[in-house]
Amino acid sequence: MEVSLELPLGNAAATFRLETAVCSHGLFMMAPNRWDPLSKTLLRPLHLTLHHHHQRDPQDSVMARISQPHDRPHCLRIHVKTPPSSLSSENKEALLAQVSRMLRLSESEDGVYRVFREVYGCGSSSVGRVFRSPTLFEDMVKCILLCNCQWPRTLSMAQALCELQWELLLQSVTSKAVDFIPKTPAAKEPKRNVGKSKVSTCLATRFDAQTEAEFESHPNGMSTDKSEPAALNLSPSSLDSVPTENNACDESYRDDSDLLYDPQFLRDSDFDGTGNFPTPTELAKLDEDFLAKRCKLGYRAGRILKLAQGIVEGRIQLRELEETCMDRSLCSYDKLAVQLRQIDGFGPFTCANVLMCMGFYHVIPSDSETIRHLQQVHGRKSTIQTIERDVQQIYAKYSPFQFLAYWSELWHFYENKFGKISEMPYSAYKLFTACNMKSEFRRPNKRKKTD
């Protein structure tokens, strides 16, 4: 049985386009999200309750197909396959709330984009609303998955976590163990001692050189934050530039460019065997070694596990964090940053990305992808020591929306390299890497700022 829900767009109806709202950030490429380039719909499982970090029915997820109908563009249509019992009013509210969060359909978010478009006009038509997950927990875990690894591996780890959730669901229903083989590419993890690791040495040596040839020979992105393991910016083209014995992983995707032009209509059956993104409750009870082995998470398993356990035990209050971010003041940002930094694995770079997901846009999380972008587009030869100062000088005029200005510009850069991202099929997302950027970047015409 299927049920169709409608989510009115309200004041956002005049400018909102589902295609640009979804395909505006690398998070949309990560499981369990699936964008269908033919039907222009987003498919993914959603929970039937907003409080799923507490004890719940293991079968409380439903597959949702989200579209913007041509005959009713002022609303979104959400088709869901219902469980045996009909949806309650609480279930419907939970589903609509999750879709609203992913697409940033609150009045405050709409106000941000309206001001950004009208006053600054900085390529905002290219990006729309920066896509995020239906829950803060999923955003936080995915930011951890971006740390110190290549983009194909990040995608595979997210996929493996969703496969694990499906396995846990089957075990809870059948009480039988199910064979589970993660599809995550195996790779050796870098040293965990950041202060004396080869990662820091490699980065310092690499960026001190500051030559264009060096950027071309090392096209992968790294966080410049020394207080946490090298982490990727949320840009999908940013890859880990730490040399490992498994660098051939990226090579295996380079000759598959035909996939970029072979979209396939997605069916709900394409999700068979893949579950929803796991909840804190599902992860908190797992063994760290088990989680690391099953999903090839490496040291990230411990950090994800501690995050999940902290939420389940009440030491980390996600609802409190989200209530604090309703006030978009600098004071609230500082308060949230302090709270997030107390969580294991959340250094300044990761915190800035999480806070961007929470709606703060005045800080640009900077990594080597940012360094490359400033060199290629602005002619600014930044280093890991100067990047924060440089981005502030370039984007300060867009305060308090520096990240939106930067990300609009960067996403436009990606589309000049790869073509329209929303038309790429799911099978091509692992190609979305710096090594496949071959065409020359055409700098967009700048619109004059109005007084």
From first to last of its 451 residues, the chain has per-residue pLDDT tens of 789 999 999 988 988 999 999 999 999 999 999 999 999 999 999 999 987 544 455 568 899 999 999 999 999 999 998 766 688 999 999 999 999 999 999 988 888 888 888 777 654 455 668 999 999 999 999 999 887 788 899 999 999 999 999 999 888 765 554 555 555 555 555 554 444 434 333 333 333 333 333 333 333 344 444 445 443 333 333 333 333 333 333 333 333 444 444 444 555 555 555 699 999 999 999 999 999 999 999 999 999 999 999 999 999 999 999 999 988 888 999 999 999 999 999 988 889 889 999 999 999 988 777 888 899 899 999 998 899 999 999 999 999 999 999 998 888 888 888 889 999 998 899 887 766 664 443 444 444 444 4
pLDDT at position 386 is 93
Asked whether residue 54 is domain-assigned, the answer is no
Q: Do residues 68 and 20 lie in contact, with contact meaning Cβ atoms separated by under 8 Å?
A: no
Alpha helices (H) along 175-325: 198-209, 212-217, 248-251, 280-284, 288-295, 300-312, 318-324
The one-letter amino acid at 442? R
d(CA 342, CA 321): 13
Nearest CA among 298, 185, 203, 204 for reference residue 245? 185
Place of tokens 């490699």: 202
pTM for the whole structure: 0.79
pLDDT at position 5 is 96
Asked whether residue 349 is domain-assigned, the answer is yes
Asked whether residue 45 is domain-assigned, the answer is no
Which residues form the domain of 150? 135-181+259-436
d(CA 78, CA 297): 33
- Which phi and psi (to 5°) does residue 106 adopt? -80, 165
- Which phi and psi (to 5°) does residue 158 adopt? -65, -40
| Residue 2 host element (H or E) | strand 2-8
Asked whether residue 83 is domain-assigned, the answer is no
Asked whether residue 44 is domain-assigned, the answer is no
Residues β-bridged to residue 223: 367
d(CA 237, CA 434): 5
Nearest CA among 374, 408, 409, 405 for reference residue 388? 374
d(CA 88, CA 85): 9
The strand ranges marked E within 148-210 are none
d(CA 96, CA 248): 42
Asked whether residue 312 is domain-assigned, the answer is yes
Check which CATH number belongs to the domain holding 310 and give it: 1.10.340.30
Q: Do residues 367 and 224 lie in contact, with contact meaning Cβ atoms separated by under 8 Å?
A: yes
| Residue 34 host element (H or E) | strand 34-36
pLDDT at position 187 is 55
Nearest CA among 186, 190, 211 for reference residue 199? 190
d(CA 412, CA 128): 12
d(CA 302, CA 252): 29
Considering its fold, how many domains does the chain have in total?
Answer: 1
The strand ranges marked E within 90-158 are none
Asked whether residue 307 is domain-assigned, the answer is yes
- Give the sign of the dihedral formed by CA 159, CA 165, CA 170, CA 171: positive
- CB under 8 Å to 328, separation ≥6 — which residues? 108, 359, 360, 400
Asked whether residue 320 is domain-assigned, the answer is yes
